[in-house]
Amino acid sequence: MPDLTPAAWTCPLPLRDYPHVVMGHGGGGRLSADLVEHLFLPAFRNPALARLGDAAVLPPVPGRLAFTTDGFVVRPLFFPGGCVGDLAVHGTVNDLAVSGATPLYLSAGFILEEGLPLADLGRIVDRMAAAARAAGVAVVCGDTKVVDRGHGDGCYITTAGVGVVPDGVTLGVQQARPGDAVVLSGPVGNHGIAVLCVREGLEFETRVESDTAALTGLAAAVLAACPATRAMRDPTRGGLAATLNEIAAGSGVGIEIDEPAVPVDDEVRAACDLLGLDPLLVANEGKLVAVVPADAADHLLAAVRRHPLGTRAAVIGRVTDQHPRLVVARTAVGGRRVVSTPVGEQLPRIC
């Protein structure tokens, strides 16, 4: 985490008299205004935000609107490969991207716990701003509330995102058809295991890093290579298992995956073995699943592999009219097992 040293935080520190968040930072008065002026405005710098209206007023969006929201309560706030700030940008950007939309704008709602070091907030906001710039979106509106000590956990962030859906794009988990191929953009489980390792103090020879990343470019590459793509999803909470089950249930089809074809990093597999976790159920924050007509699969796979986030992409399975609404994995030893949606929470507070 070289970027998590205090020196990496470049935003000016507001109100050096207050090294920690105090209740007044959420009070709508001068302390709130200082936070906006000295932290949020310089970090997210854009004209819509700078007008400080009750709402950002933005140019007309030329096409159908995509709108989504996600809350982020990851513990700890900082982990190998990222922090709650990266997640809060990537998570919402990715929900737009896999819907076929071009992400445009984000809102950012902070719920801070009294006592959070302002330097930590600065680092989080700094990383959010960098992630937004990299993803090509502007954070145009925001809000900060402060809760008393013992009623939060440092920093919760809820972002919402607006994007534009190009004409002709109609993706949906209802559209998978028997015979379709299922393409996965890379190895699974890294985000969940990275957070778990730092939380539980586990160490492996090679440190597992979160895969948190914006899927904007990769999703666009998928749609360019295969305009007939049926559905895209990013397998976050609930992992690949939850995503495939959503597609199977949404389309009333079965999905058969070839388990050895699902890429999993050695350290992630080792951690999962040690902890008794199934990598198919562990959260990702920068992976994409696409369901495409079988005859487009090879072309699509080649296109995804050309993208930096898709070099280890694989065709991991296919859609079938057998066992509708069930996801079945063919295991390495030739057996078959049902891959269910997890009931609850394998790893709590992972995003």
Q: Tell me which residues in 238-267 interact with a copy of itself (CB under 8 A).
A: 238, 242, 246, 250
Of the two residues 9 and 110, which places its CB atom closer to a copy of itself in the complex? 110
Of the two residues 208 and 283, which places its CB atom closer to a copy of itself in the complex? 283
Q: Which stretch binds a copy of itself (CB under 8 A): 188-196, 231-239, 265-273, 291-299?
A: 231-239
CA angle 236, 350, 222 (to 5 degrees): 20
Q: How far is the CB of 266 from a copy of itself (least distance, A)?
A: 26
Q: Exactly one of 85, 152, 187, 279 binds a copy of itself (CB under 8 A); which one?
A: 152
Asked whether the beta carbons of 342 and 236 are under 8 A apart, the reply is no
Of the two residues 163 and 267, which places its CB atom closer to a copy of itself in the complex? 163
Q: Exactly one of 2, 17, 62, 332 binds a copy of itself (CB under 8 A); which one?
A: 62
> What token pair was written down for 312?
């280890």
Q: 314: part of which helix (H) or strand (E)?
A: strand 314-320
Residues 286 to 345 in contact with a copy of itself, rule: CB under 8 A:
341-345
φ, ψ at 148 (rounded to 5°): -65, 150
Q: Is 46 in the site for a copy of itself (CB under 8 A)?
A: no
Q: Indicate the pairing of strand 155-165 with strand 64-72.
A: antiparallel
Q: How far is the CB of 90 from a copy of itself (least distance, A)?
A: 13
Q: Is 282 in the site for a copy of itself (CB under 8 A)?
A: no
Q: Measured between alpha carbons, how far is 181 from 286 in angstroms, rounded to an integer? A: 20
Q: How far is the CB of 84 from a copy of itself (least distance, A)?
A: 12
Of the two residues 267 and 347, which places its CB atom closer to a copy of itself in the complex? 347
What is the radius of gyration, based on Cα positions, of the chain?
21
> What token pair was written down for 244?
């495939």
Residues 176 to 205 in contact with a copy of itself, rule: CB under 8 A:
none
Q: Which stretch binds a copy of itself (CB under 8 A): 54-62, 122-130, 175-183, 252-260?
A: 54-62
Of the two residues 167 and 205, which places its CB atom closer to a copy of itself in the complex? 167
Chain-centroid distance, C-alpha 196: 17
Q: Which stretch binds a copy of itself (CB under 8 A): 35-43, 156-164, 266-274, 306-314?
A: 156-164
Q: Is 115 in the site for a copy of itself (CB under 8 A)?
A: no
Q: Which stretch binds a copy of itself (CB under 8 A): 18-26, 126-134, 295-303, 320-328?
A: 18-26
φ, ψ at 69 (rounded to 5°): -145, 155
Q: Is 40 in the site for a copy of itself (CB under 8 A)?
A: no
Q: Is 145 in the site for a copy of itself (CB under 8 A)?
A: yes
Q: Measured between alpha carbons, how far is 32 from 23 in angstroms, rounded to an integer? A: 10
Kindly list the distances between the CA atom of residue 20 and the CA atoms of 14, 82, 114, 117, 146, in Å, as whole numbers in the listed order: 10, 22, 7, 4, 11
Terminal-residue alpha carbon distance, the chain:
18
Among candidate residues 297, 262, 288, 300, the one with its CA nearest the CA of residue 179 = 297
Q: Measured between alpha carbons, how far is 94 from 39 in angstroms, rounded to an integer? A: 25
Of the two residues 175 and 320, which places its CB atom closer to a copy of itself in the complex? 175
Cis, bond preceding 76 (omega within 30 deg of 0): yes
Q: Which stretch binds a copy of itself (CB under 8 A): 124-132, 170-178, 182-190, 302-310?
A: 170-178
